[in-house]
Amino acid sequence: MLRKFNLNTTLIKCKFENHKNIKEHLIKLIDSQKAEKINTRDEYYDDNISQTDWKNATNLNLPWKQYFLPYFENTLKNVCTTMGFEKFDLSHLWFQKYNKGGYHNWHIHGGNYTGVYYLNLPKGSALTKLLDGFNLSNILSYDTEEGDMIFFPSHIIHKGEKQLLDENKIIISWNIQFHTIQKNLLNYLNG
């Protein structure tokens, strides 16, 4: 017999401090990036993503990523340190655009953490929903606005709700591996 035990996990939400300074130029770079539409409906997937560069998620040398990464690196370092780690590896970075009717159904990610940066989020846009692994009938949503970033364990089942507005929602997502526990925590934990 399987038993579930509730174990708290870490979800981090923060404001991206450079959002206002880089938003317009970043959107222009993303708009010039080769992207594809994903409209899949089969026995497993049900997604309607207006544009994404997911196929290039491991290529960190694309112009929009080269522009974004120097700003994003400080946030990654802060989150890494806050969670008790010394190092991280960013393995995937991609954008997704959602026109009216666009959505990304329930899914999970690789790495040990994933995240979402709400680059363009008109008021009233669809947000990310997370499924509570302890109580699968409990769907969690966090009050989020444009310029926010959220980080959560990549095994948490989540989705991007259907965009009901006529305005585009643009997110940037990533998969990251946090590793190497801070030495001061090792000493503390062993004591």
Euclidean distance between CA atoms 128 and 7, whole angstroms: 22
Q: What is the pLDDT of residue 189?
A: 59
Closest alpha carbon to 86 in 12, 10, 179, 188:
179
Q: What is the pLDDT of residue 186?
A: 79
Closest alpha carbon to 129 in 166, 99, 157, 93:
157
Question: Average pLDDT for residues 123-138, to the nearest whole number?
Answer: 92
Q: What is the pLDDT of residue 5?
A: 80
Q: Which domains does the chain have, with CATH numbers?
A: 12-190 (2.60.120.620)
Question: Average pLDDT for residues 171-190, to the nearest whole number?
Answer: 87
- In contact, 85 and 179? CB cutoff 8 Å: yes
Measured from the Cβ of residue 166, the count of other Cβ atoms closer than 10 Å reads 9
Question: Average pLDDT for residues 99-111, to the nearest whole number?
Answer: 96
Per cent of the chain over pLDDT 70 is 98
pLDDT above 70: residue 173: yes
Mean pLDDT of the chain: 94
Euclidean distance between CA atoms 66 and 55, whole angstroms: 17
